[in-house]
Every structure is written in structure tokens, then in C-alpha cells.
Amino acid sequence: MSTPSGEPQWLSDDEQRAWRAYLRGSRLIEEALDRDLQSHGVQLTEYEIISMLSESPRRRLRMSSLADLVVQSRSRLTHTASRLEKRGWVVRESCLDDKRGVELVLTDAGWQAVQDMARVHVASVRRSVIDPVPAPLFKALGEAMDVIRATLAPGQEGGHPAVAREAQELESDAQADVRRSRVF
Amino acid sequence: MSTPSGEPQWLSDDEQRAWRAYLRGSRLIEEALDRDLQSHGVQLTEYEIISMLSESPRRRLRMSSLADLVVQSRSRLTHTASRLEKRGWVVRESCLDDKRGVELVLTDAGWQAVQDMARVHVASVRRSVIDPVPAPLFKALGEAMDVIRATLAPGQEGGHPAVAREAQELESDAQADVRRSRVF
DNA sequence: GACGGTTAGTTGAAATATAAATGAAGTCTG
DNA sequence: CAGACTTCATTTATATTTCAACTAACCGTC
């Protein structure tokens, strides 16, 4: 054994095939979805941000939680949030309790934008990703990805911590008409 | 029906769960693999490029084919190739037949770099992606992603058009010791 | 063989992303 | 409560990516 810890455990043929299919497929998905959202002048990562906000109880989320949710660095989110703010889609509000914290709030204009874009986007996701794959296989894909999620980001099960509590909290809210957000 | 083409077909709960798991998981994977490759000072996308080259018959590929293979824009590949060239890992050679064309060739230093990084990277892929997922489920994930690949990039089945012919072409080559490249 | 249309690859400027340093406000310990 | 340490978010400086020209070479047709 000359190298540190000897020969690595290379991939089997099956593993390699699957892994390469994943790598290439994931890039193609990103490309396709991004392209379709360009028609509305947003990137997928920006859409993710505002759509997450749109689903949150008071259409707001702390920078940190949001960053974790969409898997972006704090710094990146700061920059992107500023861009979204310039467009008038979000506003920053400082947290009442923790004065270090900042909450990103979706404006009415932002809400409307999400609603519009969601139509395009859901069609795009269907066409590129969901429709071509048989339902059971797609479900398996979801399970596999959730295992990976659990491995790489343990302790963030729901994905969106807020959504679980949404119904009760919002029921008597002015925005109750939102009901289960269909921004998917 | 007030909106163009009426209500979009929103996602079912199963579909939504799977799609979100995918989205989040894919970002986490990218993040994890990228982080691990940072130790060698490369990004995942750069690694993909040189590893593809390392598997090609004469360690060379045309810019366009390579761009398609790794799903990057021509422009992006041009810039990235320049960076890799500065490091001495690749060299540009103009095509003999098609004088518009440029081939990107992996240098010996580049080859060595890939060999070294592959050890780190394969371990990283195993740890983050393959090991946590039961083999059959991972295989399903691969199948699903291949369907998507077929949808979004029809007519690029093998992924690496060159690899299929590699064995025979290379068998009596100076680099025959490469055998089935284990850069995975 | 010259015109129009297309493809290959590059370039340079603008947009976006990453990385390291900063400041301000929390928490924990003694 | 002081000091050390951590977390939150931003800032600044770089690095990378995108986007819109642009040049050169191929291709078909007349």
C-alpha cells in the first residue's frame, strides 16, 4: 500500500451507469427549467426563494432558514435578496426578538409574480421531468433523493418547517384565502 | 377560462414530495461534491471536463462534443478551458479536418491530476450519494434520470460517444495501459 | 465560385457567485 | 457582569458565468 488508505473502492458498472445518468440528467434538468423561467426574467434559484416565501405563514422567512431551505450560502442569499428587493418583490424586516436577524418578506407584487410564474414553471417541470418518467419510478427517485437529503442535511426532514403548521396558524389570517399554496 | 389555457395541471402530493426531494437533494449533492473537490482546488464542473477527456481515445475531445457531454454552454467551456490551460492541464489543438474546430487535449500533468483527484472524488460520491441509498433504489434513480436524459437530450445515449469504441481503438496505443479508465 | 445561411469557437462586458473579513448581537462561563 | 466565543447577516474583493457580438470556416445552391 503506497497510497494513503490504498485503492479507493471504485464504482461497479451499475453504480457508474446510474451515477453518470444522474449527473447528466440533473444538469439537463437545471438547464431546461432555467431556460423556461427566463421568459419571466428569473433564474430557478430566484424562483425557489420567492416560492418558499410564498408558502410560509406570513410570507416571510429568516435569511438563515431560507438559505438552508434552498441550499444556498448566506452570502449568496444576501446578494440575491438584494436583487429581488430592487425588483420590489421582497422587503427586509429586522427580527423583533433577535436583533441580529433579518426576515425576508414577500410583497404583494412578489406574490403576484410567483402566481404568474408558477403556471409556467409547473408546466415546465411536468414536461421536462415528471411526465416522461413512469409514476412509480419517479416516486422511487424521490425516495432515493430523500435518503440523500437525510444524509447530507440531517434534521431538516420536512424541507419547509413552516408548512406543517401553516393551516392552523393561518386559518384566521387575512391571507387565509391562500389555503394550501398552489405554487407547488 | 380567463387565463391562457386555463388552470395548469398542478402536482399531486406524491409528485410534489418527490420533486421537492429531488430539488433539495440535488443541491446538497452538488454542494457536498464541490466542497470535497475544493481540497484539490477544482470545481466539480472542471473535474467533469478533465475526467471526460481522460476517458477519451486520445485524451482529446472537440469543444462542442465536450460541451454537450458535460452540459455546459460553448462560451462557458471556452472560459473554463482557458483556465485549465493556464494550469497546464489541457492544451488546445486545432482540428485537422474541420479548421473551425478545436480539440481540447489532456496533458500528462492533467492526466496525473485526474488520477489523484479521482481517489478523493470517488470516495466523496460514495459517501454522499451511493452508500446511503440501497442499491436497487439507486439503480431506479439512475433509470429515472436516464429517461429524463433521453427526453431532454435525445440522441446522446451513451453519454460518451467515444467510450464505446475505446477498447479496440486504444488496444495497441501507447496509452493502452489505461485499459478501462478507472477515473469513473 | 460567389452568395446566403449555418456552425464552431472566441471575446469582452455585464451579471452573478464565492470567499474572506467585518460588525453587531446573541450565548455561555466563570 | 466581563470576557471569550458563536451566530447572523452584510460587505468587499475576486472569480466565474452569462449574454450579445464577432470572426472564421463549412455547406448548399445557383
Q: Mind listing the pLDDT tens digit for each residue in A2-19? A: 455 677 889 999 999 999
The closest alpha carbon to A58, from A181, A177, A184, A175, belongs to A175
What is the distance in angstroms measured between the alpha-carbon CA of A75 and the sugar C1' of D14? Answer: 14
Pairing of strands B60-62, A90-94: unpaired
What are the backbone angles phi and psi of residue A104, rounded to the nearest 5°?
-100, 125
Amino acid at A180: R
Instruction: Give the pLDDT confidence score for residue B53 in this predicted structure.
Output: 97
Q: What is the pLDDT of residue A181?
A: 53
How far apart are the CA of B133 and the nearest CA of chain A, in angstroms? 6
Spatial contact of B133 and A18, defined as CB atoms under 8 Å apart: no
Position B4 scores a pLDDT of 59
In terms of C-beta density within 10 A (0-12 exposed, 13-18 middle, 19 or more buried), how is residue A165 classed? exposed
Q: Which residue is nearest to nucleotide D23 (CA to C1')?
A: B100
Report, as an integer, the average pLDDT of A103-112. Answer: 97
Chain A residues 70 to 109 with C-beta below 7 Å from nucleic strand D? 74-75, 77-79, 81-82, 92, 95, 98, 100-103
List, in order, residues 6 or more apart from B115 with CB less than 8 Å away. B183
CATH of domain B14-154: 1.10.10.10
Task: Write out the three cell numbers for B151.
Answer: 427526453
Q: Which long-range contacts (CB under 8 A, 24 or more apart) does B166-169 make?
A: B166/B55, B166/B56, B166/B57, B169/B57
Contacts of A9 (CB under 8 A, 6+ apart): B122, B123, B126
- Could you tell me the residue ranges of all domains in chain B? 14-154
Alpha carbon distance B18, B134 (integer Å) = 17
User: Strand A90-94's sheet: what is its strand order?
Assistant: A60-62, A102-106, A90-94
A22: contact with B, CB 8 A cutoff: yes
Pick A19-155's CATH classification: 1.10.10.10, 3.20.20.70, 3.30.70.260, 3.60.70.12: 1.10.10.10
Q: What is the dihedral of CA A182, A183, A184, B1, to 10 degrees?
A: 60
pLDDT of residue B6: 74
In the predicted model, is pLDDT for residue A178 greater than 70? Answer: no
Residues 5-64 of A with CB under 7 A from strand D: 38, 62-64
> What's the rounded mean pLDDT across residues A75-89?
98
Which residues pair with residue A92 across a beta bridge?
Answer: A104
Q: Could you read off the pLDDT tens digit of each residue along chain B, which spans 184 residues?
A: 445 567 788 999 999 999 999 999 999 999 999 999 998 999 999 999 999 999 999 999 999 999 999 999 999 999 999 999 999 999 999 999 999 999 999 999 999 999 999 999 999 999 999 999 999 999 999 999 999 999 999 988 766 655 444 444 444 444 444 444 556 7
Residue whose C-alpha cell reads 445518468 in the numeric block: A21
Which strands sit side by side in the sheet containing B60-62, from one edge to the other?
B60-62, B102-106, B90-94
Closest Cα of chain A to B29: distance in Å? 8
E strand residue ranges, chain B: 60-62, 90-94, 102-106
User: Is residue A54 within 8 Å of residue A114, measured between CB atoms?
Assistant: yes
Structure confidence at residue A179 (pLDDT): 40
Contact between A51 and A122 (Cβ < 8 Å): no
Calculate the alpha carbon distances from B55 to A159, B46, B183 in Å.
38, 15, 8
What pLDDT sits at residue B173? 45
Say which amino acid occupies A182. Answer: R
CB atoms within 10 A of CB B42: 22
